[in-house]
């Protein structure tokens, strides 16, 4: 039955950046659908999410790791394998933002954003896929952005990172579909999280952005749960390399 195909019961899922914001919402969504979780964040914020997941009756293991460091890649994957013996789902969600005009944008900010938002998620997917290939089954969900379709304003490194993520989502999908692995991305629109504090506090900019969202409101992490569960579940078995846009209609405008 179709609803059974959305169930994640017995699946082991890694969610990065699960301590706050969208990552916390996605972790809860996957847990509500039945998944056991391996949650990663830079700080101990992930412990708060752990407590919420435990209330849902799911198994949950946490890891504090700096995903700006490539050494975190084997720590994440080996940690999840030690906890569950397999990786069914990887949600590459952790991300950072740096805002500055293009003319002033620093090399340091460029490197930091590209590292966390583009390079490390690529190698996490590669490492997780090595386990998924053994079982000929796996789901990789990259959290990209509607900024894949535009340049944004004063966020050139983020635009480059997420645009690149969109491209390699398709590269991975093409190569790994034959191995039973689905690689897809979600493109959230404007979601009210800590990442957007600067935009939310800039009254004029907030009103300008809000007025251009057809749904008439910013999104919340809850709004992304359905897309994540779909792309993590058997319901999306024939879906490879897609960008599922969840943006209140922003990009259609």
When binding is defined by CB under 6 A, the residue of 39, 87, 94, 125 that contacts ligand NAP is 94
**β-pair partners for 138:** 181
CA–CA gap between residue 36 and residue 27 (Å, rounded): 9
- Is residue 230 part of the annotated active site? The answer reads no
143 binds ligand NAP (CB under 6 A): yes
Binding part of the chain for ligand NAP, among 93-101, 126-134, 171-179, 204-212 by CB under 6 A, reads 93-101
Contact 219, 247 (CB under 8 A): yes
When binding is defined by CB under 6 A, the residue of 48, 68, 114, 235 that contacts ligand NAP is 68
116 binds ligand NAP (CB under 6 A): yes
CA–CA gap between residue 247 and residue 8 (Å, rounded): 25
Contact 25, 39 (CB under 8 A): no
Interaction pattern, residues 199-238, with ligand NAP; x per rule: CB under 6 A: ----------------------------------------
151, 173, 188, 235 from 185: Cα distances, Å: 18, 10, 10, 15
41, 123, 182 from 142: Cα distances, Å: 16, 12, 11
38 binds ligand NAP (CB under 6 A): no
Contact 218, 195 (CB under 8 A): no
Closest of 154, 149, 216 to residue 188, by C-alpha:
149
Interaction pattern, residues 146-185, with ligand NAP; x per rule: CB under 6 A: ----------------------------------------
Q: Rank residues 94 and 181 by Cβ distance to ligand NAP and give the closer one.
A: 94
Give me the residue label for tokens 């340049």. 151
What's the min distance (Å) between Cβ of 219 and ligand NAP?
7
What is the binding site for ligand NAP (CB under 6 A)?
Answer: 17, 19-23, 41-43, 45, 65-68, 93-96, 116, 143, 145, 188, 190-191, 193-196
Catalytically active residues are 158
């Amino acid at each position: 039955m179709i609803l059974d195909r959305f169930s994640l019961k017995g699946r082991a899922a890694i969610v990065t950046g699960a301590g706050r914001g969208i990552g916390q919402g996605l972790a809860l969504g996957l847990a509500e659908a039945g998944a056991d979780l391996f949650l990663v964040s830079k700080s101990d914020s992930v412990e708060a999410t752990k407590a919420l997941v435990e209330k849902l009756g799911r198994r949950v293991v946490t890891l504090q790791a700096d995903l700006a460091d490539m050494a975190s890649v084997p720590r994440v994957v080996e940690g999840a394998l030690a906890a569950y013996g397999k990786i069914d789902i990887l949600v590459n969600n952790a991300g950072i933002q740096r805002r500055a005009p293009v003319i002033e944008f620093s090399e340091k900010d460029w490197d930091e954003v590209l590292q966390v938002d583009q390079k490390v998620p690529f190698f996490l997917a590669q490492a997780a896929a090595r386990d998924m290939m053994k079982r000929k089954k796996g789901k990789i969900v990259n959290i990209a952005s509607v900024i894949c379709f535009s340049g944004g304003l004063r966020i050139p490194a983020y635009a480059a990172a997420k645009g690149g993520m969109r491209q390699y989502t398709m590269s991975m999908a093409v190569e790994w579909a034959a191995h039973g692995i689905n690689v897809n991305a979600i493109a959230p629109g404007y979601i009210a999280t800590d990442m957007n504090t600067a935009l939310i506090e800039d009254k004029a900019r907030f009103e300008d952005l809000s007025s251009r969202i057809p749904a008439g409101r910013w999104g919340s992490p809850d709004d992304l749960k359905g897309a994540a569960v779909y792309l993590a579940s058997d319901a999306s078995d024939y879906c490879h390399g897609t960008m599922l846009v969840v943006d209140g209609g922003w990009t259609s405008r």
